[in-house]
Amino acid sequence: MDKTLELECTERVLELVRNRTSDLAPTPYDIPVDVYLDEERAHRERERLFRSLPLLAALSCELRNPGDFKAIEIMDVPILLMRDRDGQVGAYLNACRHRGMKLTEGHGTSTRLRCPYHAWTYDNQGNLTNVPFGPESFPGLCLEEKGLVAVPCQERHGIIWVKLDRDDGPLDVDEFLGEMGDDLATWDIGSWHFVNSKPLGANANWKLTAEGYLENYHVGALHAESLAQIAKSYYGCARTPFGDHQRLVYANHMIDTLVDIPKEEWVSFDTGAISFIYHVFPATMMVMFFDHFEVFQIFPGKTPGTSTTIQNLYTATELVEYDEKKAMQERFDFVYMLVEAEDYWAAASTQAALLSGANDTLVFGRQEIALHHLHDTCFKHLQPAFEPA
Ligand code: FES
Ligand SMILES: [Fe+2]
């Protein structure tokens, strides 16, 4: 990681720990519970946040070579990412132009994709190249007009971004990320190595699941037997906003060992004294550790009370030894279990209790400042509430 950024963030976090505090908003923040329950609100979020803004669909390392592809579902939209022979990545709807079957699933490598149903075949630029018995069966069929339907896509900072709304112009990831782009660029994300990916459903609104990544106030209580053994609770969360997005740096207990060491000798990131979360609005969480990276893609479900998270794990160097691979797989499983059994258990419990009517509003404390930002940014994008007639 970037040494200047590491030292700057360590200093800030250490200062917060010394003062037994975290970055604070001026006042607490009330949020109406309707934002987690209302159908119309959920519809607008899907349209204006998740269909209109760029979304992280994959990292470049998942499609490292020409011919590599990845199929992913985003809010029930099947997307196919393919790297063509020139090294360019394209995104398409993963739906055959004959009778609509998905062409493939997961990751793979092939210069041609053949539909399993009747063998219509496409190249890795989405062009339809072969239709069995075409001249007799489909007289007049124009292959050029039956290529896969393209989805706006851009590869930037080692990340493949897509936009679901195909009528809303091309993607501009630099504009979308603003200054956070420079920060992300320091992580050399294109050189990472893919380890595993797995979806996790939750009976909770996507914002409730997202909130768990954005404050460490809950660590001591909810994660008393797990994360709290490593990470500090309440203290030492330094937040930096980048437009709609934000970066959080969390203090781990290891940071206490730095107190008596001169700044020039600090090795805070590689020793696990601090960890980073990049929150790419609306709900991609990139959690950075010294040897591996966890990327959580959070999407709304069909109803306000459901969501899906895709958990991904990447490493800084390629794992070769069996023991290394086994250890990283165990890490993946541990995080999945922790998120499911603790964070998303709390989120689902909250969602269920919201329906009781006990609370008209919920309240975020001053230290839950990143949640103020998440909700403010949602409100900003969702205004005006209704289009003028
Ligand atoms: S649905 Fe794909 S070839 Fe028929
Ligand atoms: Fe948590």
How do residues 22-79 score in pLDDT, each as one tens digit?
A: 999 999 999 999 999 999 999 999 999 999 999 999 999 999 999 999 999 999 999 9
Q: Is the CB of 204 under 6 A from ligand 1?
A: no
Q: Is 187 helix (H, G, I), strand (E, B) or coil?
A: coil
Q: Is 309 helix (H, G, I), strand (E, B) or coil?
A: strand
pLDDT band at 168 (very low <50, low <70, confident <90, very high): confident
Q: Is the CB of 299 under 6 A from ligand 1?
A: no
361 exposed, middle or buried (CB, 10 Å; 0-12, 13-18, 19+)? exposed
- How much of the chain, in percent, has pLDDT values that exceed 70? 99
Contact (Cβ atoms closer than 8 angstroms) between residue 277 and residue 287? yes
Closest Cα to residue 240, out of 9, 1, 2, 4?
9
| pLDDT for res 259 | 84
Q: CA 229, CA 206: separation in Å to the nearest integer?
A: 27
How do residues 297-329 score in pLDDT, each as one tens digit?
A: 999 999 999 999 999 999 999 999 999 999 999
Q: Is the CB of 132 under 6 A from ligand 1?
A: no
Q: Is the CB of 96 under 6 A from ligand 1?
A: yes
Whole-angstrom Cα Rg for the chain: 22
Spatial neighbors of 274 by CB under 8 A, at least 6 apart, are 6, 9, 10, 13, 249, 250, 251, 252, 255, 268
Least confidently predicted of 228-242, 252-266, 339-353: 252-266
Given a cut of 50, is residue 8 above it in pLDDT?
yes
Give the Å distance between the CA of 281 and the centre of ligand 1: 37
Q: Is the CB of 98 under 6 A from ligand 1?
A: yes
Put residue 350 in one of left, alpha, beta given phi > 0 → left and psi -120 to 50 → alpha: alpha
From the CA of 121, which ligand is nearest? 1
Spatial neighbors of 178 by CB under 8 A, at least 6 apart, are 242, 243, 244, 245
From the CA of 102, which ligand is nearest? 1
Query: Which amino acid residue places its CA nearest to atom 4 of ligand 1?
Result: 118
Given a cut of 90, is residue 172 above it in pLDDT?
yes
Give the Å distance between the CA of 19 and the centre of ligand 2: 23
Phi, psi for 239 (deg, rounded to 5): -115, 135
| pLDDT for res 267 | 86
- Which amino acid does the sequence have at 216? N
pLDDT band at 386 (very low <50, low <70, confident <90, very high): low
Q: Between the CA of residue 31 and those of 84, 95, 260, 306, 373, what are the distances in Å? A: 46, 40, 42, 19, 12
pLDDT band at 385 (very low <50, low <70, confident <90, very high): low
Given a cut of 90, is residue 282 above it in pLDDT?
yes
Tell me the best of 80, 92, 99, 141 to mutate to test the pocket of ligand 1, counting ligand atoms within 8 Å of each CB and taking the most.
99
Contact (Cβ atoms closer than 8 angstroms) between residue 294 and residue 311? yes
The helix or strand, by DSSP H or E, that contains position 231, with its residue range, turns out to be none
pLDDT band at 169 (very low <50, low <70, confident <90, very high): confident
pLDDT band at 268 (very low <50, low <70, confident <90, very high): confident
Q: Is the CB of 101 under 6 A from ligand 1?
A: yes
How do residues 139-162 score in pLDDT, each as one tens digit?
A: 999 999 999 999 999 999 999 999
Q: CA 154, CA 90: separation in Å to the nearest integer?
A: 8
Q: Is the CB of 314 under 6 A from ligand 1?
A: no
Give the Å distance between the CA of 106 and the centre of ligand 1: 19
